[in-house]
Each structure stands twice: as structure tokens, then as C-alpha cells.
Structure 1
Amino acid sequence: MGICDGRVVIVTGAGRGIGREHALEFARQGARVVVNDLGTGRDGDGRSGGPALAVAEEIRALGGQAVASGDDVADWNGAARLVKTAVSAYGGLDVLVNNAGFVRDRMLVSMGEDDWDEVIRVHLKGHFLPLRHAGAYWRERAKSGAPAAARVINTSSGAGLLGSVGQANYSAAKAGIAALTQVAAAELGRYGVTVNAIAPAARTRMTEEVFAETMAAPESGFDPMHPANVSPLVVWLGSVASEAVTGRVFEVEGGVISLATGWTHGPRADRGARWSPAEVGDAVAKLLEEAPDPLPAYGARPSSV
């Protein structure tokens, strides 16, 4: 008996990397899993049903239950079919893990329109659409007198929390996902749904260059950058035990779990009347003196912060 025994789980982007580990761990914990993946390349090009099928077969070989889905989560009809797949195959839906994504890294002045649009589409729209259709399903259940103990786990990033040089498109999308998480938690709680996000650090196709120096596992046998390190938190957030946790963003790396606090109200100056432009400079200087220094964006030089 696992902590997600009998629960029905969708994991997007589950054909490789972190998503694959999520799907496998949910299955080990007793869940029935819809393995969704388009099978694209690191930059979003191409398409193949192979990765999703392979993970579903791997789960079944371990004695678990899984079906594969090749639907595009950033397409309205594709996301709707994905939710219907879970309901048709297993009679319901309890957990949605939004994980699908890819990168097209460029400096701002070199980034093309397609580089921006496609990354925003797959990450941000690809979170919204499955969440929208799953939320509508849970709302209807609640209206019929059967509220769910449902869970959504979104995937943000440290780039979305602090920014990352050379990743303006990815950082903007991941920041949007953090905000989407807060809004969805506030709106869907009445239906028995919690919504949280993770900002993981692990070695995947998208990060293999960043974490190249940690490719080899240390002598202890613990690989701090292995994507499987991320999944225990996600599986717990997908369980009924996490019902008191919603609207939160957790950072997870290796054996470390931390809670990201995000934007908060800081020092303020109230003149009691409209400011004149000449007065604003002194007021801002005092606010900056009272506030902590911001953390730099990943990859930023100290002089540029």
C-alpha cells in the first residue's frame, strides 16, 4: 500500500527526465498513471509517441497500471482529451502534474519571436489548459455532491523565481506558472482541490549543460542531481496527506526541500498626497536602504545587478 494507492494521476512531459521519475514513483506508490508526452526534442522540435509508450510499459512491467497519451497539452482539444483519457481509463482523476516543457535559450537581443512564443506556449499555456479542463471536471463533481480530494502540482523553476540570463522566455513562463499556481489555489479550493508548484533543480535534457560537472555520482552513491530526487515531494503533494498545503512553491534539489516565499510587500513611503517627480528620488533611496538587496538572476554578473 503506497501513499497514493488507487489514485488516478496525469503526468505531462512524463516520457523522460523528471516527469518520467514522477510517473514511476506515483506507480510505486499505488497510483494509476496517465503518461503524457509529445516526444519532442530538447528544443520542442519533432514528435514521437515512443517515450510515453515506453514509460507506460515500464510501469506495467513493474506491476503497475498506466496508459500512454500523446496529446499536446498546449492545445485546447488535446488537453481536454488528456483529462478524458484518465476518466475513461480509470473512472476519474485525482492528481494533475504539469511538467511538460522545453527550452530555446537565447540572449534577449538574439531571441526570435518563435523562440519566445513557443516556450511561453508549451510552459505557460501548457499548464493552463490541463489545469482548466481538470478544474472543470472537479467543479462538476463538487456540484454533483462528490467533492474531490484533488491535487495539482505545477512546475516552475528557479529561473521563474529569480530570472536566468539567456532564458528570458523560460523565466517569464516559469514566473507566470508561479502566479497561476496562487490564483488556481484560491479559485479551486472550494471544490476540494489544492494547487502547489515546485521549482526543481536536477539533471535533465534541459539542464545537462548547466549540471555537467555533477554528472558522476559521488562515492556515497547519492547523486544530488538525479531527477528522481524531485519526485518524493511531488508524490506527497499528490496524496491525500497534503490537504492542508496549497498555493505554495517549493524548491527541491538533491536532499533539500525549501519553501520559496516569493514577492511580499516591502518598505513603503506615504506622502499623503501626490508625489512630485523631484521628490520621488529621495523617497526611493530611503526605501532601498530599508529593503534587503535582491538576489541576482542566475548567470548575472555582480556589476549588472
Structure 2
Amino acid sequence: MTTRFNALVIAAATLLLLSCAATTGSKTAELSNPYILQAENHTSNGMAAMQQERWDAAMRSFSRALTAAQLADDSALITHSWYNLAAAQSNAKQHTQAEASYRQVMELAQRHHDQVMQLRGRLALHLMQQRLGRLPETFSLQQLPASLFSKQQWPADLHLQAARLAQRLGETAEAEDAYQLVIKRNRNTPSEFKMAAEAHMGLALLARDRGENQTAINQAEQALSYCRQIGAARLTAHALLLQGELAQKPVEKWDRVERALDIYIALDDKTGQKKALTLLSQQANEAGDEKGAEQLLLRLTDLEDKLGE
């Protein structure tokens, strides 16, 4: 009797499972490519590492994202992964690898008719080349779309990159126009606020170079207001250093530069530390503070030794 009862229970349970399976099978299952999910996860990890300036970790994550994108055979994701990898390589000073990766971005984007990514890769490559003194002599801004400097036709980062390139090439009018295009855009995400802050800093530097110190200070202050909302520490230090350089009152000058120095120390940015210590040393000398100037000079000398200068 017990055996027969158990058999009936098992049979009923089997029928229930089959019934559930049949019901589930009648619905359209949501499909997701696991390789795309892997690429997205690795990309997120890489972005987090970039924000913390952990370039080796960023390169590893972006390389894994690239592999996953290739396994997914997702052309757009592959192109973006090459771009992210190139950016990490550039920051890690692996310039030869970065140039090859940027060219891969441009080639893939052209092949798949992605004008935005093609231009994004091109601008990033030219900026890196200009910083390294390797920009081809035949290059000119006129080779770029004029709309980069006149219309909000492109993503904000392209206008920002075009502005930086123009500024570095001494084309100040074009640089200012492109920075203004970035500032006038609506902002919702941290990256959009960061780009606006960078545009204000670009305008601040242009104003400083024209001798318009108060305008430069005001533009740097606007950059700082955004930086404090999103936590852009390095840009905060740059803005404070600029304000300290241009401030009229000694107390304000010292305060801004000292705060910038604290941030550079926390970031282990020795180049930034050198700039800040140099300004503080100059101010101490101007104030007749011989002991303070001597201490700052010792710190500066020690730092230059670490930089190999």
C-alpha cells in the first residue's frame, strides 16, 4: 500500500513538473549574450581603475573586455574596447602600443561607417602625438570637420578634444568656440559635469594667457564648483594652482597653492607637487620668510632628485 502511494506521489510530481515546463516553454525567453555581459563588466572595472589612475589594472580590464567583445562578434563593442585600451595605454605612457590601438579604432570605425568613433580615435591620436612632439607637420585643424568648432553636432567629448588640440596648436579662437559648445550643453551625468569643468579650465588658461587674470580666476572657480560635486581631485588641484598663481592677496595665493599641494601629494603627482612647491617657495621669498623659503627649497630639491632632474 505504501509503495503504491509513493508511486502515485512521484507520478503527480512528475506531471506537475512537465506542466510547468510546458507553460514556461510557451513564453519567449529573454536571450542575452554572456560575452557582451562580460565585456560590459570588464569595461566597468576598467573605467573604475582609470578613475583611480591604476593604469595597469585598466589595461588588463580593457583587454579582457576586447576579448569578450570579439567573442560576441559585436563590431561597435570591439571598436569601443580598442579605444578604451588605447586611452589606458596612453596614460600608462605605452605610446607605441597606444598609437597602434588608436589606428585600429580608426580602421574599424571606417570599415563599419562609424564616423563618431573614427573622429574620436583621430582626435585622441593627434593629441597624444602633439604632446609627444610627433604630430605630422602636414596636419592642420582645417583637416577636421569645421562643425567641431561651430555647432553642437558631435558628442561633447569630441568638442572638448578638438578644443584642447586647437589650444595646444595656438588656435585660440577655435579653442574658445569649442569649449563654449561643451559648456552650453545640458548636464546630467558625472562625466558631463567633468567635461564642463575641463572646458571651464580650458577657458581659464586661455584667459590667463591673454592677461585677463580675473576672468581666469572666475573660470577656474566654475570648474571647482563642478569638481567638488563629482570628486575630480586632479582637476581640482589644477584649478586651485591656477587661482593661487593669479591671486592678488598673499593669503589667498598661499591658501590655494597649499591646498593644491595637499591634493597632489595625496595623488602622488610629483610633477604637480613641483609646480606647487615652486610657487610657495617664490611667495616665501617675496614675503621675506627666509626660514620658510629654505625649508621649501629643501623639499623641492628632494622632489627633483626623485624625478631624476
The TM-score bracket by the shorter chain reads under 0.3
Q: Tell me which structure has the larger Cα radius of gyration.
A: 2
Q: Which has the higher contact order (CA 8 A, sep 6+)?
A: 1
The structure with the greater share of residues assigned to strand is 1
Q: Which has the higher helix share?
A: 2
TM-score, structure 2 normalization: 0.25
What TM-score does the superposition give when structure 1 sets the normalisation length? 0.26
